[in-house]
Amino acid sequence: MVSNASYRPYFLNSYLYPDAVSLHLLPRECERILSEMDLISFEGETVFIVDSQAVTLVPEKLFEETLAGEMLRRACAFPGTDRVCSRLLKDRPLVLVYAVPEEIALLGNSFHAEVKILHTLECLISLSDQVRASDHQRGVILAEIQPYTMDILVIMGDGIRLTNHYPLKDPSDFIYHTLNTMRQLDLDREKIPVYLSGIIHREHELFGLLGKYVRNVNTTPYFLEELSRTDTLRAMILSEGSKCA
């Protein structure tokens, strides 16, 4: 996505491969595509968004930058070559700590301007502000679904109750993970709403299928000028990343 200073998109494209691309090849593919569009020389604000499984939240009062790597390793395993990044969340006393593959970080060095690397979870937490305050108090689930991955966020009492990231063999797997999350947290499927973003829109067959099990299924409210609702859902994480940066 390329947007102007008012976050109005004027270019949006996506690339889908028949099989998962190796982590070592993905940055090269990204660089090839960006070079073909002359975006490596782009001098505006540039944001990468990664969905690394190596991510955790740390209370701000307990966080120490020098111990960020150790804190992350206690939560999950990740390659020793990965870079550890941290960001204080807006309006929340929490620090997001996450790993960035070295190949992605090196790709950022290819740009003429500074590149900020964010995590999908930060964007999803920021998107939760689009949901009604009453849902934050009663409880709400936000799920971002892409062809091969799913990120899920549960908020209750305006606090983050759970976050998780799942690889998907098929997009329909997101229904199992959503229902399993509700079961594990003992959430009432008649009362707790689920907000979706990514590739699942109201006309998608999987939207209706989830609605057979959860009474209140919605798409995450968001507006991007001149984009259809389907494209807005697919790209809102990218747009929110620019706003978080």
Task: Please give the pLDDT value at position 43.
Answer: 82
Q: List the single range of 22-31, 84-93, 136-145, 236-245 with lowest mean pLDDT.
A: 22-31
Do 146 and 84 belong together in one domain?
Answer: no
Q: What is the mean pLDDT of residues 219-231?
A: 91
Q: Could you report the per-residue pLDDT of 67-125, keeping only the tens digit for each?
A: 999 999 999 999 889 999 999 999 899 999 999 999 898 888 888 888 999 999 999 99
Is pLDDT at 5 greater than 90 in this prediction? no
Q: Are 57 and 95 in contact (CB under 8 A)?
A: yes
Do 14 and 114 belong together in one domain?
Answer: yes
Any idea what the CATH number is for the domain that residue 77 is in?
A: 3.30.420.250
Phi and psi at 140, nearest 5°, equal: -155, 150
Q: Are 152 and 177 in contact (CB under 8 A)?
A: yes
With cut-offs at 50, 70 and 90, classify the pLDDT of residue 135: confident
Q: What percent of the chain has pLDDT over 90?
A: 60
What CA–CA distances, in Å, run from 147 to 80, 144, 154, 199, 223? Answer: 28, 10, 21, 7, 22
Do 71 and 144 belong together in one domain?
Answer: no
Strands (E), 131-175: 140-145, 149-156, 159-167
Task: Please give the pLDDT value at position 127.
Answer: 93
Do 135 and 58 belong together in one domain?
Answer: no
Locate 174 and state its tokens.
């997101």
Any idea what the CATH number is for the domain that residue 177 is in?
A: 3.30.420.260
Q: What is the mean pLDDT of residues 39-66?
A: 91
Do 150 and 181 belong together in one domain?
Answer: yes
Average pLDDT of the chain?
A: 91
Do 84 and 143 belong together in one domain?
Answer: no
Do 115 and 130 belong together in one domain?
Answer: no
Q: What is the mean pLDDT of residues 42-49?
A: 89
Local structure of 138: helix, strand or coil:
helix
Is pLDDT at 27 greater than 90 in this prediction? no
Local structure of 179: helix, strand or coil:
helix
Is pLDDT at 19 greater than 70 in this prediction? no
Do 38 and 142 belong together in one domain?
Answer: no
Q: At what angle do helices 229-244 and 120-127 cross, to 10 degrees?
A: 110
Do 171 and 101 belong together in one domain?
Answer: no
Is pLDDT at 60 greater than 80 in this prediction? yes
Task: Please give the pLDDT value at position 159.
Answer: 92
Residue 220 belongs to what domain range?
126-236
Is pLDDT at 16 greater than 90 in this prediction? no
Do 88 and 154 belong together in one domain?
Answer: no
Do 49 and 97 belong together in one domain?
Answer: yes
With cut-offs at 50, 70 and 90, classify the pLDDT of residue 136: confident
Do 62 and 18 belong together in one domain?
Answer: yes
**How far apart are the C-alpha atoms of 233 and 236, rounded to whole Å?**
6
**How far apart are the C-alpha atoms of 107 and 92, rounded to whole Å?**
30
Q: What is the mean pLDDT of residues 176-203?
A: 95
Regarding predicted confidence, which is higher, 24 or 114? 114
Task: Please give the pLDDT value at position 118.
Answer: 96
Task: Please give the pLDDT value at position 20.
Answer: 64
Q: Are 151 and 164 in contact (CB under 8 A)?
A: yes
What's the predicted TM-score (pTM) here?
0.90
Q: What is the mean pLDDT of residues 176-201?
A: 95
Task: Please give the pLDDT value at position 28.
Answer: 85
Is pLDDT at 49 greater than 80 in this prediction? yes
Question: How many structural domains is the chain composed of?
Answer: 2
CA nearest to 174, candidates 187, 163, 165, 162: 165
